[in-house]
Amino acid sequence: MTYDFSGKVALITGASGGIGRATALAFAGAGASVVVSDVNVAGGEETVGLIESAGGKAIFQACDVADADAVKALVKRAVDTYGRLDFGHNNAGVTHMAADEWDEAVWNRSVSINLDGVMHCMREEAAAMLANGGGAMVNTASINGFTGNAVQPGYVATKHGVIGLTRHGALKWARSNIRVNAVCPGVIETPMTDSVASSPEMRKVMEAMTPMGRMGQPEEVAHAVLWLCSDQASFVTGHPLVIDGGATVS
């Protein structure tokens, strides 16, 4: 499926690699102007370079989504540069495998980025979208927004929260032409999973976690994000779309 987002503007957080980078490249490939954001400056600038080398338009702005003022400045930069904001992929997030899974600092960091960060982005993006007649947001949750795991309380709790925020936003802006959905990836081959899957043995374990017998690719999530933002999904809002190779079926 192809999309024409010419004249539209997309903002992607956590876009220095993985799912965020794949989504940024996909939006640019469909003609959108892209605002790339991350705390990883080198990675974010590299994403912009990849877009520009393919003939697309993009800018980078460093942003810690846990900082409400930084998110406000990020959305302002998007509007100041391109005149509008149509799409937001609120993708920035962290995961931890702490020795002490109840460590206060780990919990607080999970909440501030995974949950507070999404809220900050939704709030600022909605204000910009309302000014130009509507738009679409996609939040990155996880299959752990439906299920649990025994070692990441902060991650599990915040991803459940992202699905809740998504449903709230969908209802809040349903009559304002703003749709809000979420993608819920399973095991995807990204820099976030590389540290766990670095050994052949652990990679086999992670591949065995899905009935399809492989890890997903960032582009497979990006395709879903673009569909949720497109007119083909014009009657879809408040939906947490699972992309997990069947992991939550079994």
Main-chain dihedrals φ then ψ at residue 243, nearest 5 degrees: -130, 85
Annotation says 82 is catalytic: no
Give the number of other Cβ atoms within 10 Å of residue 41's Cβ. Answer: 12
The secondary structure of the chain in percent helix, strand, coil, rounded to multiples of 5, reads: 50, 15, 35
Interatomic CA distance for residues 214 and 94, integer angstroms: 22
Rg over alpha carbons for the chain, rounded to the nearest Å, is 17
Interatomic CA distance for residues 26 and 11, integer angstroms: 12
Beta strands in 162-237 (DSSP E): 178-185
DSSP 8-state symbol, 147:
S
- The one-letter amino acid code at 231 reads D
Beta strands in the chain (DSSP E): 9-12, 33-38, 57-62, 87-90, 135-140, 178-185, 240-243
C-alpha atoms less than 13 angstroms from C-alpha of 6 in its C-beta half-sphere: 2
Catalytic residue of the set 27, 82, 87, 155 = 155
Residue 85: closest CA among 59, 111, 103 = 59
Interatomic CA distance for residues 18 and 107, integer angstroms: 23
Catalytic site positions: 155
